[in-house]
Structure formats: C-alpha cells, structure tokens
Amino acid sequence: MKPFYKFDFQLPLGAFDLHLKCQSQATMLGLFGASGCGKSSSLKAIAGLHKAFGTIRCGSHVLLDSNLGIDLDPAERAIGYVPQNHCLFPHWNVKRNLLAGQRPGHCDALARKQRFEEAVAILELAPLLTRRIHQLSGGERQRIALGRALCAMPDLLLLDEPMASLDASLKQRILPFLLRVREELGMPMIIVSHNPIELQLLCEEVIVVERGQATTQGSPLEVFTQAQIYPGIATAFENILELNIIEQNPEQTLACLQDANPAQPIVLAPIPGPSRSHIRIGLAASDLLIALTPPVGISARNIIACRINRIQNLPTACLVIVQLQTTTPTEIAAELTSSAVQELGLTPGMDTYIVFKSNAARLYL
Ligand SMILES: Nc1ncnc2c1ncn2[C@@H]1O[C@H](COP(=O)(O)OP(=O)(O)OP(=O)(O)O)[C@@H](O)[C@H]1O
C-alpha cells in the first residue's frame, strides 16, 4: 500500500542538522522525542515555514520535491498549522480570529461558511465568539487556535504540543475536541507531543525523533513499550482501549471492546454524568495480572481471554504483550516480574487470561 506521508528532507538550522526520513500509511501520525530533537522544526518544514530540501509528500500532494523544482508556498500547502504559542490576534474577538484563517480564493463562500459553523459546533465556540482573546483561558485559546486552523479548510492539520500549556483537567477537556475533529472531519493530523498517553489516544502510528533523525516507528504500543526509547515510559506504560458501552447504571458500567469476537463484557466502575455510547479507558500495565486458566473465587471482575504475542525485558521487569480476541489486532501490555514469567512458563503463542479490577480502569473520555 502507498504511504500517506513520505518525508525525506533536510533542514540545516545553524549547528543543528535535521534530516527526517520516514514514511507512514497512518493518517494520524505522532512525532515524539526529547526537547530539542527537531519535532517543531519538522512541522515547520512540512508547513513550508522553514526552507527545507528533499521530498515532502502528504496524501496525493507533493509539497516539496527539490529534484523536480517543487516547493509550494505555505499558503499553497493546504495545511492548518497550530503552533505551541497559538499566535492569535489579541485585540480581535474570537469570530474575527477564526475567520482570519479563511482564504477567499481557496473555496467557495458556502463551503467556508459551513466549515466555520462546523468548527464552532465541534469546538463549542458559540458562547465565545464575541469575546476578545485576552479574556479567554488557556484551554479556550487552544480551541480557538484549532478552530482557526480548521476554518482554513486544510487537507492536513499540524499540531505542535496541542496540550503542553494546559493543566491536567484542561487537557481532559481539550482531548475530546481533538478526537471529534478526527472523527467528524476525518482530517489527517501530525501531532507533536511529549506525552505518550496523548499520542496513544490520538495517533495510529508514532515516529520517534532523535537528534534530528527518525529512529523508531510503530504503533504507540510498539514504540512506548520499548525500554530503550525512554526507560521510564515503558515501565509506566498505560494501555488505551476503546470500548462500546453496553449498560451504564449506578452500580457499574458494562462495556465491550469495539470489535471483540466473541463479545466479552468488561465491567467498569460506574461512570458519572450523562449516558455515553463509547469511552476510552487507560489500564496501567502494572495493574494487569496474567492467569493460565480463568481464576475462580477472585474479586477482580474482568478475566479476558488473550494470546501472548511477545515478551519484552525491561531493566526491572517484563512486559508481556498479548493479543485480545478482536477482529482487528488489539494488543495490550501487562507488566510482570521476570520470576513470574518464568514460573508460569509464559511464551509467545500461549493462550492465557488478562485479569483486572473494575477500578483499575482510568476513564479518559
Ligand atoms: N531558527 C533556528 N535557528 C537555529 N537553530 C534552531 C532554530 N530553530 C530551532 N533550532 C535548533 O534546532 C534544534 C531543534 O529545535 P526544535 O524546536 O525543532 O526542537 P523540538 O524537538 O521541537 O524541541 P521542544 O520539544 O523543546 O519544543 C534545537 O537544537 C534548536 O535549538
């Protein structure tokens, strides 16, 4: 299959030499790496804000091909770029800031009006339209910056640390908006983040950038369970699962994996607030147990059949990566001591059970 993104470009930045060479079929792509490794500069090169040399292809668009003499101006690239500092016009009201993203020649007035209304609806901006930027909170400014990028009718969104400046509770409130943009507009995105959970929630694939080069690539689980990426991340790994809600009542919530085969209910703690059709939960790898046979007489509510795919050694433990019974591959990681792995004789290909308490699940959205 043809890759959606194809990057092979160089960007000399004084003493720092960025050479990003990678390709991906995923439309939701994450860039992850230490501070100063070249993530923001990569986004700016893709947006055309830094002059790069080489090849940048996104979907069917060739944005840069130095051999063919192609180097589109930023305005011709149909990219919505949301920088870390938002760059909103402080003395304009929200509506004027949103409309500032629109380019009259890019598409007809009706389509632009529709997109403005979609952005206002998805990001819940209607009550803010007449407010000025300095009257807004950090999370509201983030939504306006995202809305302005959407109003430009881009074919691709580039988000540079979309939640870096927000505290934990605001992050919780912005994430659903990003997911709605992904789900309702189906817009491809490249997201730069330091936060593995954000990338797991938003991206299909993650590229790790180190000293200006792409060094590792894979699904968020494949990348973040590798001890050599950042040792602390693999040991604190949290699985993200998307579940459909079957029943929500004051005692418990019943849910199931979206494509579980056979459907196997997952029991969660009650979820406060209105009823929902689906949720995303986080399960820390260290909260999961593995059993060779379904345990009986145990308080944990969830005993889920799975098969071991591989076992990875961490400095002080092992991550057992299992495949759940779903039609599309769904892996989750359980952290065990190496002595537990040896005593149970766990090996790839074995059929086992993942066991966890209802309260182990952390509710994301
Ligand atoms: N305009 C510039 N001129 C010279 N060097 C630059 C310029 N912009 C960035 N750099 C350098 O290039 C390197 C990569 O910077 P970049 O901002 O892309 O990193 P980053 O991975 O996004 O970092 P952070 O996570 O801290 O935002 C850094 O060493 C930085 O000092």
Q: Which atom number of ligand 1 is nearest to the Cα of residue 38?
A: 18
pLDDT over 80 (residue 262): no
Q: For residues 6-14, give the mean pLDDT.
A: 92
Q: Whose CA is nearest to atom 2 of ligand 1?
A: 13
Please report the pLDDT score of residue 269 as a whole number: 94
pLDDT, the chain, mean: 90
Interface predicted TM-score (ipTM) of this complex, two decimals: 0.95
Q: By alpha-carbon position, which residue is closest to atom 4 of ligand 1?
A: 13
Burial class of residue 170 (count of CB atoms within 10 Å of its CB; 0-12, 13-18, 19+): middle
HEC states along the chain?
A: CCCCEEEEEEEEECCEEEEEEEEECCCEEEEECCCCCCHHHHHHHHHCCCCCEEEEEECCEEEEEHHHCEECCHHHCCEEEECCCCCCCCCCEHHHHHHCCCCCCCCCHHHHHHHHHHHHHHCCCHHHCCCEHHHCCHHHHHHHHHHHHHHCCCCEEEEECCCCCCCHHHHHHHHHHHHHHHHHHCCCEEEECCCHHHHHHHCCEEEEEECCEEEEEECHHHHHCCCCCCHHHHHCCEEEEEEEEEEECCCCEEEEECCECCCCCEEECCCCCCCCCEEEEEEEHHHCEEECCCCCCCCCCEEEEEEEEEEEECCCCEEEEEEECECCCCEEEEEECHHHHHHHCCCCCCEEEEEECHHHCEECC
Most confidently modeled of 103-107, 264-268, 342-346, 361-365? 342-346
Q: How confident is the model at residue 32 (pLDDT cuts 50, 70, 90)?
A: very high
Lowest mean pLDDT: which of 99-108, 110-119, 200-209? 99-108
Higher-pLDDT residue of 34 and 264 is 34
The residues that bridge with 22 in the sheet, in sequence order, are 7
Span 3-12, average pLDDT:
95
Nearest-angstrom CA–CA distance, 192 and 179: 15
Rounded mean pLDDT, 177-198: 87
Better-scored residue on pLDDT, 23 or 264: 23
Does residue 47 contact residue 9 with C-beta atoms inside 8 Å? no
**Position 137 confidence tier, pLDDT thresholds 50, 70, 90:** confident
- Going by pLDDT thresholds of 50, 70 and 90, the confidence category of residue 237 is very high
Q: What average pLDDT does this structure show over 276-281?
A: 90
Q: What is the pLDDT of residue 329?
A: 83
Burial class, 95, CB count within 10 angstroms (exposed 0-12 / middle 13-18 / buried 19+): middle
pLDDT at 326: 84
Q: Which residue has a Cα nearest atom 6 of ligand 1?
A: 13
Predicted confidence (pLDDT) at residue 116 exceeds the cutoff of 70:
yes
What residue type is 347 in one-letter code?
T
**C-alpha of residue 335 to centroid of ligand 1, in Å:** 35
Determine the residue of 10, 11, 13 to mutate for testing ligand 1's pocket, defined as the one with the most ligand atoms within 8 A of the Cβ atom. Answer: 13
Between 355 and 178, the more confident residue is 355
Residue 141 has pLDDT above 90, yes or no: no
Instruction: Give me the pLDDT at residue 258, please.
Output: 83
Q: Which atom of ligand 1 is nearest to the CA of 16?
A: 12
Greater confidence (227 vs 237) lies with 237
Whole-number pLDDT of residue 13: 85
Question: What confidence tier does 29 reach under pLDDT thresholds 50, 70, 90?
Answer: very high
What is the 195 CA–ligand 1 centroid distance (Å)?
18
Q: For residue 31, how far is its CA from the centre of ligand 1 (angstroms)?
A: 14
Residue 105 has pLDDT above 70, yes or no: no
Q: How far is the CA of 46 from the centre of ligand 1 (A)?
A: 15
Half-sphere exposure of 342 (CA within 13 A, CB side): 5
Judged by average pLDDT, the poorest of 50-54, 122-126, 154-158 is: 122-126
Report the nearest-CA residue for atom 26 of ligand 1. 35
Q: Whose CA is nearest to atom 1 of ligand 1?
A: 13
* 282 CA to centre of ligand 1 in angstroms: 32
Q: How far is the CA of 13 from the centre of ligand 1 (A)?
A: 8
Mean pLDDT (whole number) for 19-46: 95
Q: Are strands 205-210 and 28-32 parallel, antiparallel or unpaired?
A: parallel
Residue nearest to atom 17 of ligand 1 (CA): 40
Quick one: which atom of ligand 1 is closest to the CA of 41? 18
Q: For residue range 71-95, what is the model confidence (pLDDT) as tens digits?
A: 999 988 989 998 887 788 888 999 9
Model pLDDT, residue 21: 97
Q: 16 alpha carbon to ligand 1 midpoint, in Å?
A: 8
| Burial status of residue 222 (CB atoms within 10 A of its CB: 0-12, 13-18, 19 or more) | middle
Residue 35 backbone phi and psi in degrees, to 5: -60, 135
Confidence (pLDDT) at 169: 67
Pocket-forming residues, ligand 1, beta carbon under 6 Å:
13-14, 16, 33, 35-41
Q: What distance in angstroms lies between residue 88's CA and the mean position of ligand 1's atoms?
A: 22
- CA distances for 4 relative to 26, 65, 149, 283, 364, angstroms: 7, 16, 21, 31, 29
- Laid out side by side, the sheet with 5-13 consists of 16-24, 5-13, 53-58, 61-65, 70-71
What would the pLDDT profile of 45-73 be if each residue is shown by its tens digit?
Answer: 999 999 999 999 999 999 999 999 999 99
Distance of CA 49 to the CA centre of its chain: 24
Residue 170 has pLDDT above 90, yes or no: no
pLDDT digits (tens, 9 = 90+) for 319-349: 999 999 888 888 999 999 999 999 999 999 9
Backbone dihedral angles phi then psi of residue 170, each to the nearest 5 degrees:
-70, -35
The rounded Å distance from CA 40 to ligand 1 centre is 7
Atom of ligand 1 nearest to the CA of 212: 14
Give residue 104's pLDDT band: very low, low, confident or very high (50, 70, 90): low
pLDDT attached to residue 110: 85
Average pLDDT estimate for 154-176: 79
Angstrom distance (rounded) from CA 270 to CA 249:
6
pLDDT at 106: 67
